[in-house]
Amino acid sequence: MKLIAINGSPRLIGNTSNIIMDMLDIFSREGIETEHIQLYAYNFIPCNDCRSCEMRGDGRCINEEDGFNELLDKLREADGIVFASPSYYGGVTGQMKIFMERAGLSLETGDMGLRRKVGGAIAVAAHDGASAAYSQMVNFMLRNQMVVCGSTPHTTFRALNPPQFSADKDAVKAVSILAGEMVWAMERLGQKK
């Protein structure tokens, strides 16, 4: 089994990256292969709603030069996907939003390539916006017919500078719960293949 974490933070070693690394350790201990993808390593062109993806119907964006389609192919091959984003101003980061818009249109009008993948979301904010960012990412997963796992409490962190995330003990606990739920779901869905 394989899990991919999509990181929407522009900080290579920030709270979001540290949270992802802690979570990936949990998956690795369960024998799950993991990959951490930093969206800011890409220079994605924003979606302009050209609807070429709908005309093509193959789940690919017409822009073949920015690595976007290769990233979608990686997600299609994964069993589980975690989206993680800080919220700087009331929602996901710009890069995460661009990714979700392009992926959403390409997938929904094409092959629904993330259908029945196991998903989870993590959001981080210094003050406001974590709940909105979390909801945006979960909504993306639901629209793509993913099996979305949750936790009690939600995996929404209150933190500004690293390593402040570790002081939010409830959210740290929630990440472990989310990882456990995702492992359970991936194992159950894997048995059905």
Task: Summarize pLDDT for 41-81 with one digit per residue, the tens.
Answer: 999 999 999 999 999 889 999 999 999 999 999 999 999 99
Q: What is the per-residue pLDDT across 130-152, written as a single tens digit (0 to 9) for each?
A: 999 999 999 999 999 999 999 99
pLDDT surpassing 80 at residue 188: yes
Which residues lie across from 7 on neighbouring strands? 38, 84
pTM of the model: 0.96
CA 4, CA 79: separation in Å to the nearest integer?
8
CA 5, CA 120: separation in Å to the nearest integer?
9
| Boundaries of every domain in the chain | 2-188
The pLDDT > 70 percentage for the chain reads: 99
- Which is nearest to 16 in space by CA: 184, 129, 108? 129
Q: Which CATH number fits domain 2-188: 3.40.190.10, 3.40.50.360, 3.40.50.300, 3.20.20.120?
A: 3.40.50.360
